[in-house]
Amino acid sequence: MRIRLFPLAAAALCLPLFALAPAADARAGMGSSLGSRGSRTYSPPPRTSLTPNWTRPMDRSMTPRTPSYASPAPESGFSRPNFGNSMRPPFAMRHPFLTGLAGGFLGAGLFGMLSGHGFFSGFSGGGGSFFGFLIQVLVVAFIINFLIKLWRKRSSNNTMSSNAGGSGLFGAAGGASSPFTSQPQQAPSQGVTLTPDDYSTFQQLLINVQAAWSAQDMMSLQRMATPEMVSYFNNQLSELTSRGARNIVSDIQFLRGDLAEAWREGTITYATVALQYSAIDVTTDSMGNVLDGSKTERQTITELWTFLRADGRGNWILSAIQQAG
């Protein structure tokens, strides 16, 4: 009986982890960090008011990694771990309560086994109490999931509130006035000045790229993104098609934007900006049945998009997408 119940118990111990798993990302880029940022491809973008925490490093890039990008060898001795803004802290550090809870469950079970009373003797003294233990696990998972969602929602609201009216922001949610600053913004020490027209172009590219992605319009994507980004989009759309699925991102509402950095390399100008927007992101099968996402519930997304253009004669095009923590 104990052998049969062991797999069920193991699954129950993992329920809190599954309850906290985020929904799969299916928008353009599919929630990955892709593309190139010139010589800064493997350097984390500066933090912004919209992205005050870590930024996921590039998952895929055609820019070769050179020794100059490598991190210096750590010095001897012990030091406090530093995750910076380019690496996400491990799960145990982000959710210490959950880790301790699961460790307590597991430790109690292992103690029971070592003492010869079975895996669940540390929790209960009879088989009837085993189901009570499972119910307790489900309740704890629900509570933890609820508290973390509440904390994330409050953090997002606080960030948006603190950003309202900021001079460094070029977007404003739902305001009647122009969503862009009236004065040009200059990236510190980079000699690159971005105008309100540039920010308007970034906002429009965000909307147009997602629309072309949803329509699987590769011709339009080729006019708005680098060949590298187009190749990634093509591979992702092909993967969805092979599964008989289609992703549609609709009703995009641009909320806010913030400049991370802008610089020039030769004749190419780069600009990395944090973009926050909300949209309906849903993946369906060929019959229109929802596989992921929702047709009615909006998602709020914050990403770092890098654009480039040839000085004096080129249009801004998408060069990279990075996920913000």
Give the per-residue pLDDT at 224: 98
Give the per-residue pLDDT at 311: 80
What are the pLDDT digits (tens) for 58-76?
999 999 987 644 444 444 3
Whether 20 contacts 95, CB under 8 Å: yes
| Mean of pLDDT over the chain | 74
| Fold that domain 2-62+87-323 belongs to in CATH | Nuclear Transport Factor 2; Chain: A, (3.10.450)
* Among the listed residues 213, 227, 218, 233, the one whose alpha carbon sits nearest the alpha carbon of residue 308: 227
User: C-alpha angle 36/91/146, rounded to 5°?
Assistant: 110
Q: What are phi and psi of 54, to 5 degrees?
A: -70, 155
Whether 316 contacts 308, CB under 8 Å: yes
* Among the listed residues 255, 243, 249, the one whose alpha carbon sits nearest the alpha carbon of residue 217: 249
| DSSP, res 43 | S
Q: Where are the domains of the chain?
A: 2-62+87-323
Give the per-residue pLDDT at 185: 53
Chunked mean pLDDT (size 10), the chain, 325 residues: 50 44 68 95 95 92 74 40 46 52 51 49 52 71 76 55 44 40 48 91 97 96 97 96 94 96 95 96 92 93 96 89 91
Give the per-residue pLDDT at 67: 61
* Among the listed residues 284, 263, 268, the one whose alpha carbon sits nearest the alpha carbon of residue 316: 268
Give the per-residue pLDDT at 85: 42
Give the per-residue pLDDT at 230: 97
Residue 213 exposure: Cα atoms within 13 Å on the Cβ side: 30
